[in-house]
Amino acid sequence: MTSISAISNSALTVLKIQNAATTYLKSSAFSSNSDTLRASLLDQFYDPALGNEFRQVYQRNLKGPDGSEMPPDQAKFKALVDVIKAHRDRFSSDEIVLMPPGRNPTPVIIPATAAMRTEMFKSQIDAKQAEYDAAQQAKDAQPDPAATKLQGMSQALQALLPNGDAPIDGDTADAKTAYAILTKKRYGDDQNTSDDQDRPSAAAPTGETGDPSVAKGVPVGGT
């Protein structure tokens, strides 16, 4: 009679389908001073999703940003590190020390989970600060509408006036011409209109007799 435990172990064995990641971790190309670490990595990378992600990252790593080709063992090692960092919570919470390929390699240390969380939080804060700074710079760079209107008016006047390159000052001819362009009036018309309003109106026309009630040219006294 087959025990339930044996059936469970058999099912787990069937589910552990090899992929590019597990093949790499079992090969001599992957160097580890800890069998426990290798076993824990294998347990996670048997997950088809992680295995597929490892394969995609590995294929990207084969082609460097500058078009150069990365040696396959280095591309696989870099893919392993990238995927572990991307899914840090799925692996050991302690530091993970990995040995890259090559002679006399320098160990690659993936920080402990707590340290990485602090680092990720700091990165998020830095990113938010950068977004805020960029938004403030964009806001500060927006021109003041009144200043823009004034500048446009000044440029238009400089194009219209005979002496457009010179500044427009006070009571100069250019200032008077500018006034006329902007108001559709001659310079001084406002003052002349004001004077006319203050001046008394002309007397009503009178006849030749001097009688103000008789209009000029109208007969007096009926027929």
Can you give the three-state secondary structure of 72-113, one letter per residue?
A: HHHHHHHHHHHHHHHCHHHCCCCCEEEECCCCCCCCEEECCH
Top-confidence residue, 201 or 117: 117
- Confidence band for 48, pLDDT divided at 50, 70 and 90: very high
> Looking at the chain, which runs of residues are DSSP E strands?
96-98, 108-110
92/174 same-domain check? no
Looking at the fold, whether 172 and 66 belong to one and the same domain comes out as: no
Torsion of CA 99, 101, 103, 104, to 10 degrees: -20
Q: Return the pLDDT at 40.
A: 92
Domain assignment present for residue 111? The answer is yes
Mean pLDDT (the chain) is: 74
pLDDT band at 155 (very low <50, low <70, confident <90, very high): low
Distance in angstroms (rounded) separating the CA atoms of residues 111 and 44: 18
Q: What percent of the chain is modeled with pLDDT above 70?
A: 56
The burial class, CB within 10 Å (0-12 / 13-18 / 19+), for 96 is: buried
With the C-alpha atoms ordered 210, 211, 216, 219, is the resulting torsion angle positive or negative?
A: negative
In a domain, 156, yes or no: yes
Range of the structural domain that residue 37 is part of: 4-118
Report if residue 45 sits inside a domain: yes
- Say yes or no: 156 and 56 in one domain: no
Same domain, 32 and 89: yes
Average pLDDT over residues 14-27: 85
Which residue do the tokens 């591309």 mark? 75
Are 55 and 112 contained in the same domain? yes
**Does residue 124 form part of some domain?**
no
Q: Percent of the chain scored above 90 by pLDDT? A: 26
Model pTM greater than 0.75?
no
Does residue 69 register a pLDDT over 50? yes
What type of residue sits at position 148? T
